[in-house]
Amino acid sequence: MDVEDHRIEVPLDWRGNVPGRGFSGESIGLFYRVLTAPDRINDDLPLLVFLQGGPGGSCPRPTSPSSDGWIAEAIRHFRVVLPDQRGTGRSSRIDSHVMARLGSADRQAEYLKRFLADSIVRDVEHLRLTGFGGRRWVSLGQSYGGFLTLTYLSLFPEGLAACFTTGGIPHVPSDAEDLYRHTFPKMVSKTRQYYARYPQDVDRVAAVADHVASEDVRMPNGDRLTVERLQTLGSDFGMKPSFERLHWLMDEAFVDGAGEATARGDLSDEFLDGVMRATSSRPLYWPLQEFIYADGELDRPLRWAADRVRRSMPVFSPDGRPLMFTGEAVFPWMFEQESALRPFAAAVGMLMEDTRFGRLYDPERLRGNEVPLQSAVYVDDMYVPSDLQLDTLSRVGNSHYWATNEFEHDGVHGDAVFRRLYQEARGQGGSRRSPVAGGP
């Protein structure tokens, strides 16, 4: 691949500023990378901008065209633009150091609000207008990137020639508690599938949970391992091969016992390191997680919607056996137990009581949408329920979907999903030139 690195400045606060124009107030850096197939560097290729999943996700760092499956296909037809979303990667990133510099909790909370979808989309539109001469581009949104896609279609549809989404159509209207009432039952089902595949792990997981409940077990970074944190290993269950990853982690949980399900005693250093790595979040992922469902002026604060739903379902009790795993949901105890999240605790607590957020979706504009939208909807999606995706798509103009249970939420990272969507989108053009046509 031919790879170019670039950076532009964008306003920290888009209120009072307009993409494509000069702006006032504090600025932050927006980094983006451009990928082109070596044999097509001098071709007039259409542009494809990738909207990364997350929240708090930076763009892919490919090691080869096939290291992230969709890229190899995309660079056959497009010049690919990979922005690091604000606050991530090389785009004025946020971590504990930045939170410490901000000082007070109210200042931290106000700062974090500037890193949600309404600001991200304005960044991308500003990049299109200032960095690419205002050329319309095609978007590919994975997971949270699909949420960004509908925000883009609501705010700046004129900037988009066509859109692809994979596992990422949000429910409109947005409601965090309703979302979790769909996803927590899916976690029960996923956990039972895991135990059915590896029945020996029922006792092994229970033994680990009993041990950490009764002992002060510390991970390499000094964080205490609790049963609640152990349960969050299930956040991977919507990807492949997650069951295998957890099984082989549990396989070496105890120092003694050679992997038998009945093993007891000390937990191995290797196991504790694996759990720490699997449950330690990117700096913005958990702090922003629940706020991706905050659309405009809320009727009521979020107030830890996921935690409310979890507490209404006794099956997820840390004392329950077999132990149930939890998924993509943020809980208040995370900001006490996880050292990397403690600097965010006060600010996130304040935001949980807030009701004023940026407007994300325009239902009327989405209903009248004319930009071709081609979506992969994963029937068994653990993170973005397929029934909610299809409900939204039924009210988005010029939308088309492919519903499949062949893939999990990370299907786009293979070599089949984007190719299928691209071929279907070209077919939608009929006798007219398709807006995604750009090469062989």
The pLDDT tens digits for 281-314 are: 788 999 999 999 999 999 999 999 999 999 999 9
Under the banding of pLDDT at 50, 70 and 90, the label for residue 435 is low
pLDDT reading at 324 higher than 50: yes
- Residue 16: DSSP 8-state: T
Averaged over 158-165, what is the pLDDT? 98
pLDDT reading at 385 higher than 90: yes
pLDDT value of residue 363: 98
Domain ranges (residues) in the chain:
2-173+360-428, 176-351
pLDDT reading at 260 higher than 70: no
Under the banding of pLDDT at 50, 70 and 90, the label for residue 437 is low
Mean pLDDT, the chain, whole residue set: 95
Counting residues of the chain whose pLDDT is more than 70, the rounded percentage is 96
The pLDDT tens digits for 67-107 are: 999 999 999 999 999 999 999 999 999 999 999 999 999 99
Bridge pairing between strands 2-11 and 27-36: antiparallel
Q: List Cα–Cα distances, 30 to 144, 291, 429, in angstroms.
A: 18, 22, 34
Please give the angle made by the CA atoms of 138, 116 and 347, to the nearest 5 degrees.
165
**CATH placement of domain 2-173+360-428:** 3.40.50.1820
| DSSP three-state, residue 8 | strand
The pLDDT tens digits for 167-188 are: 999 999 999 999 999 999 999 9
CB of 32 closer than 8 Å to CB of 6: yes
